[in-house]
Chain A
Amino acid sequence: MADSKTETKSREVNAQLKSGKRKQAGSGKDNARLMHHLLAQMIRIRRLEEKSYELYTREKIRGFLHLYDGQEAVAVGVMEVLEREDAVIAAYREHGQALAKGVSMNSIMAEMYGKTTGCSGGRGGSMHLYDKETNFFGGSAIVANGLPMAVGLAQAYKMQKRSSLACCFFGDGAVGEGEFHESMNLASLWELPVLFVCENNLYSMGMPFELAEAETDLLKKAASYRVEGERVDGMDVTAVLEAARKAVDYIRSESKPWFLECQTYRFRAHSMFDPERYRDKSEVKEWKKRDPIKMFSERLMDEGLLDEKQLADIESQAQQEVEESVGYAEESSDEPIETLSRYVYSDMKNSE
């Protein structure tokens, strides 16, 4: 279900990154291409989220919807250095990660519509995006529940002597859960190739991070499990990319986990049912000045790596992709009720 255009691009960029070409490329064409690609990826996510919001208010999308606006640089920066074979395990605010991993926008949108053509066949919805083809393992809406899975995927890869790694994304709230601590310990103890990416957006629903954790220095927590790591500005896509590359290089060469804290901010409410009593509008406004897309595109223009026309092209392409995905979802069919009890067991006979 991968989007072939994006995927080819990602692959090319990945190849550059691996061969180290990108570094020397400097102001060259390749570099500009990568920068445009990063920007385009973030814009695709932002437009998808805006559309999702709109479709929710029109009751086309139902259930819980958690939007990623503001955090795009994290998913895009990290995903850029991962291989297709690497596993990504995310949580319920995962449209961005899915899209960046290569899951097609069509199948994401169709999933939110609950259609059979959705990436989870309409069984999952916004919080449960899955895609085997791109090794996207969800999509878990139980906070921290995906972390042990990442440890296990990494364990399997290590046992099979594969070079793949498992990358899990989770929020600052997940850090309070036992599964976070158990997973960090196991990954370190067993020297497993896991990239732990904590998206610290300062809130878990309405709970401010500093009221939730006695120790707010997450690197200290990581260090207590002898997991190395780094803190990075999660609003800066190239900073995230560099940090992720360092992390991935370390994981692949040392076969050990790495902890990456990305300091970021969610621009929208936690979900569609959140009156946002816990934070000041001025705080949101302040953070929006550091909008990862705005900052990055301005920077590229300053550096002469992007012009208005190119930006407009990127925008219109994203817009078109979003519109197409809506059309696709609208036209897709509902699953017949007759097959309701499917997917409980691999063998359908065993459904009782």
Chain B
Amino acid sequence: MPEREIAEQKMSYRQAVREAMREAMNRDDRVYLMGEDVGLYGGCFNVSEGMLEEFGKERIIDTPLSESGFTGCGIGAALGGMRPIVEIMTVNFSLLASDQIINTAAILLHMSGGQFNVPIVIRMATGGGKQLAAQHSRSLEGWYSHIPGLKILTPATVEDARGMLWPALEDPDPVLIFENTTLYNFEEAAPVNGTQVDITSAKVRREGSHVSIITYGIGLHKSLKAAEMLSADGIEAEVIDLRVLRPLDNQTIFESVRKTHRAVIVDEGWKSVGLSAELSARITENLFYELDCPVERVCAAEVPAPYAGHLEKASLPQPENIVETVRQLGGIYG
């Protein structure tokens, strides 16, 4: 294979996902895309626009509304030697496929004593912030990351949207990729041909010495904004993008907290019994004596997403809340 040139190009998150799928399908004919409205409609978020024309209906498969049926079908096809990308419109609808995801994909390897791994990739949109109300605005990636056997990816940058799919397809086990709907239009320069990013580690997206803000997905962008605001105040926040919610990369998180001695977790999921609680527990269990103050959390309010714009905004973590939380950390003005 000739050396690829690594040229950078400004592209949207949406385009990045599309390019990733196109590349994967060109590279490996076992890969195909299946989901509701992925073909004729071009994807409900326009992600797969043009792919039906490019790859044909054998490989870009429009499914009826049968989340459980076509997700389970993807599992079977993966067992049969294919490498399906199953697109579920949004995480909210994935609940109808949760039997297949949780009762089959996540545990088949185990139940079969190691005989049947399930190399499936399931992509779905997630998150709120678009006034779509309670049934269309959930962030359940943390909830899925409770399940042993699943790998949970949350690309927050265009580079990750572009690069995470291929290693996910190469992974022998089921990988769920959560794309925050508010990120699809986000543009950034990213390698045109996709670089090989890993799907195992968290990344420091901004260095700082006073506090570690640990987040993922859309929370990364809000946290980076907060970090800029804090910087004007003389507080330098380190921002960690988890990237992978399961298995969590303890090392990167701990290294950062060891340096800053303070941690704030930003998660658009609910606070109670969720991902942020897990992160807080891990930090406290492992780094209790390194901490200058208690771990704080900025999460979604404990309500279903309201429709009214001002209420929804108030229900989700905003940069201002993050700034406020950091400012109140013990000793932060040192």
Residues B247 and A151 in contact, CB atoms below 8 Å apart: no
- Checking B66, B71, B100, B117 against A185 with a beta-carbon cut-off of 8 angstroms, the contacting residue is B66
Q: Knowing A183-B69, A185-B64, A350-B151 are in contact, say whether A152-B173 is a contact too (CB < 8 A).
A: no
Residues B112 and A149 in contact, CB atoms below 8 Å apart: no
- Checking B66, B70, B113 against A118 with a beta-carbon cut-off of 8 angstroms, the contacting residue is B113
- Checking A156, A179, A342, A344 against B68 with a beta-carbon cut-off of 8 angstroms, the contacting residue is A179
In the assembled complex, which residues on chain B have CB atoms less than 8 Å from the CB atom of A154?
76, 80
Asked if A87 is at the interface of the complex by the 8 Å CB criterion, the answer is yes
Residues A148 and B111 in contact, CB atoms below 8 Å apart: no
In the complex, chain A residues 122-178 whose Cβ is within 8 Å of any chain B Cβ: 122-124, 128, 130-132, 137-140, 142, 145, 147-157, 159-160, 166, 178
Q: Knowing A186-B63, A189-B64, A345-B173 are in contact, say whether A132-B116 is a contact too (CB < 8 A).
A: yes
In the assembled complex, which residues on chain A have CB atoms less than 8 Å from the CB atom of B84?
152
Asked if B74 is at the interface of the complex by the 8 Å CB criterion, the answer is yes
Task: Give the A-B contact count at a CB cut-off of 8 A.
Answer: 158
Q: Knowing A183-B69, A185-B64, A343-B110 are in contact, say whether A153-B58 is a contact too (CB < 8 A).
A: no
Residues B113 and A159 in contact, CB atoms below 8 Å apart: no
Residues B111 and A344 in contact, CB atoms below 8 Å apart: no
Residues B70 and A179 in contact, CB atoms below 8 Å apart: no
> Which B residue sits closest to A89, measured CB to CB?
B76
- Checking B66, B82, B99, B173 against A186 with a beta-carbon cut-off of 8 angstroms, the contacting residue is B66
Asked if B115 is at the interface of the complex by the 8 Å CB criterion, the answer is yes
Asked if B132 is at the interface of the complex by the 8 Å CB criterion, the answer is no
Residues B100 and A121 in contact, CB atoms below 8 Å apart: no
Residues B99 and A142 in contact, CB atoms below 8 Å apart: yes
Looking at the assembled complex, report how far the CB atom of B168 sits from the nearest CB atom of chain A, in whole angstroms: 13
- Give the docked Cα–Cα distance between A140 and B172 (Å): 21
Looking at the assembled complex, report how far the CB atom of A188 sits from the nearest CB atom of chain B, in whole angstroms: 11
> Which B residue sits closest to A178, measured CB to CB?
B68
On A, residues with C-beta under 8 Å from B are: 87, 118-124, 128, 130-132, 137-140, 142, 145, 147-157, 159-160, 166, 178-179, 182-183, 185-186, 189-190, 342-347, 350-352
Asked if B75 is at the interface of the complex by the 8 Å CB criterion, the answer is yes
Looking at the assembled complex, report how far the CB atom of A263 sits from the nearest CB atom of chain B, in whole angstroms: 26
Q: Knowing A124-B113, A351-B247 are in contact, say whether A152-B172 is a contact too (CB < 8 A).
A: no
Looking at the assembled complex, report how far the CB atom of B333 sits from the nearest CB atom of chain A, in whole angstroms: 36
- Give the docked Cα–Cα distance between A190 and B99 (Å): 22
> Which B residue sits closest to A87, measured CB to CB?
B80
Asked if B104 is at the interface of the complex by the 8 Å CB criterion, the answer is yes
Residues A346 and B72 in contact, CB atoms below 8 Å apart: no
Residues A149 and B72 in contact, CB atoms below 8 Å apart: yes
- Give the docked Cα–Cα distance between A347 and B247 (Å): 12
Residues A179 and B81 in contact, CB atoms below 8 Å apart: no
- Give the docked Cα–Cα distance between A142 and B111 (Å): 13
Looking at the assembled complex, report how far the CB atom of A349 sits from the nearest CB atom of chain B, in whole angstroms: 9
Q: Which of A149, A150, A160, A182 has the most CB of B within 10 A?
A: A149
In the complex, chain B residues 237-259 whose Cβ is within 8 Å of any chain A Cβ: 247-248, 250
- Checking A128, A149, A345, A351 against B76 with a beta-carbon cut-off of 8 angstroms, the contacting residue is A149
A-B contact pairs, 24 of them (CB 8 A): A120-B111, A121-B114, A131-B115, A137-B116, A148-B69, A148-B75, A148-B76, A149-B104, A154-B76, A155-B73, A155-B77, A156-B76, A156-B78, A156-B80, A159-B58, A159-B77, A159-B82, A183-B72, A342-B114, A345-B109, A345-B151, A350-B151, A351-B247, A352-B250
Q: Knowing A151-B69, A347-B172 are in contact, say whether A128-B82 is a contact too (CB < 8 A).
A: no
> Which B residue sits closest to A168, measured CB to CB?
B76
- Checking B74, B79, B109 against A343 with a beta-carbon cut-off of 8 angstroms, the contacting residue is B109
In the assembled complex, which residues on chain A have CB atoms less than 8 Å from the CB atom of B32?
159
In the assembled complex, which residues on chain A have CB atoms less than 8 Å from the CB atom of B56?
none
Residues B79 and A137 in contact, CB atoms below 8 Å apart: yes
Q: Knowing A142-B99, A189-B64, A345-B173 are in contact, say whether A128-B80 is a contact too (CB < 8 A).
A: no
- Give the docked Cα–Cα distance between A343 and B116 (Å): 10
Looking at the assembled complex, report how far the CB atom of B229 sits from the nearest CB atom of chain A, in whole angstroms: 34
On B, residues with C-beta under 8 Å from A are: 32, 58, 61, 63-64, 66, 68-82, 84, 99-100, 103-104, 108-117, 148-149, 151, 172-173, 200, 247-248, 250
- Give the docked Cα–Cα distance between A274 and B78 (Å): 37
In the assembled complex, which residues on chain B have CB atoms less than 8 Å from the CB atom of A190?
61
Residues B68 and A182 in contact, CB atoms below 8 Å apart: yes
- Give the docked Cα–Cα distance between A124 and B113 (Å): 7
In the assembled complex, which residues on chain B have CB atoms less than 8 Å from the CB atom of A160?
80-82
Residues B69 and A128 in contact, CB atoms below 8 Å apart: no
In the assembled complex, which residues on chain B have CB atoms less than 8 Å from the CB atom of A138?
108, 111-112
In the assembled complex, which residues on chain B have CB atoms less than 8 Å from the CB atom of A159?
32, 58, 77, 82
In the assembled complex, which residues on chain A have CB atoms less than 8 Å from the CB atom of B248?
352
- Give the docked Cα–Cα distance between A345 and B246 (Å): 11
- Give the docked Cα–Cα distance between A14 and B80 (Å): 23
Q: Knowing A151-B76, A152-B75, A156-B81 are in contact, say whether A186-B69 is a contact too (CB < 8 A).
A: yes
Residues B113 and A120 in contact, CB atoms below 8 Å apart: yes
Instruction: List the 10 shortest-distance A-B pairs measured between CB atoms, nearest first.
Output: A152-B76, A148-B72, A121-B113, A156-B80, A182-B69, A130-B112, A152-B73, A182-B66, A149-B76, A346-B172
Q: Which of A138, A140, A152, A159 has the most CB of B within 10 A?
A: A152
Looking at the assembled complex, report how far the CB atom of A315 sits from the nearest CB atom of chain B, in whole angstroms: 32
- Give the docked Cα–Cα distance between A145 and B72 (Å): 8
Looking at the assembled complex, report how far the CB atom of B146 sits from the nearest CB atom of chain A, in whole angstroms: 13
- Checking B70, B79, B148 against A344 with a beta-carbon cut-off of 8 angstroms, the contacting residue is B148
- Give the docked Cα–Cα distance between A179 and B71 (Å): 11
Residues B113 and A148 in contact, CB atoms below 8 Å apart: no
- Give the docked Cα–Cα distance between A347 and B151 (Å): 12
- Checking B58, B69, B74, B111 against A130 with a beta-carbon cut-off of 8 angstroms, the contacting residue is B111
Looking at the assembled complex, report how far the CB atom of A125 sits from the nearest CB atom of chain B, in whole angstroms: 9
- Checking B75, B115, B250 against A149 with a beta-carbon cut-off of 8 angstroms, the contacting residue is B75
- Give the docked Cα–Cα distance between A169 and B247 (Å): 35
In the assembled complex, which residues on chain A have CB atoms less than 8 Å from the CB atom of B99?
142, 145, 179
- Give the docked Cα–Cα distance between A79 and B297 (Å): 57
Beyond the given A130-B115, A155-B80, A350-B173, please list 14 additional residue pairs across the A-B interface where CB-CB is below 8 A. A121-B112, A121-B113, A132-B115, A139-B112, A147-B72, A151-B73, A152-B80, A153-B77, A156-B77, A159-B82, A179-B68, A183-B72, A186-B66, A190-B61
